[in-house]
Amino acid sequence: MTQEDPEQMVTAGGERPTRGSLERRLALLKRSVIVVAVGSFAAVASLAAERTAAHGASTPSQQTNHVNQYQDGGDDYFGYAPYGDDSGSSGSLGSGAGAPPAAGSHAS
């Protein structure tokens, strides 16, 4: 068992940073984000503008050309029960697994 490095945290999508992302992370370290003890979270008011201010994204024409072609099917895959029957594994995720995020906000 390991005692975690105090400077580490659980990070989503955090593997193999490139030089660019590493530089961003170093910059972020100066801001010293990180985590407090589990179970002590305060609710946070909305911090993020919806996809507005930081947006700045434009869609390449190539993608626009495929709008109709790649409309996804009516399949309910993303609301489907976990893998279970197909994978041969048993059980399912925790009781909250099927629920949408309860509430909250997000900043980028």
Length of the chain as a residue count: 108
Does residue 44 interact with other proteins by CB under 8 A? yes
Residues 74 to 103: which contact other proteins by CB under 8 A? Answer: 75-80, 82-103
Does residue 26 interact with other proteins by CB under 8 A? no
Picking from 54, 56, 59, the residue whose alpha carbon sits closest to that of residue 106 is: 54
Residues 6+ apart with CB under 8 A from 5: none
CB of 104 to other proteins, least distance (A): 3
CB of 40 to other proteins, least distance (A): 9
CB of 44 to other proteins, least distance (A): 5
Geometric angle at alpha carbon 82, from 90 and 88, rounded to 5°: 35
Size of interface with other proteins, in residues (CB under 8 A) = 92
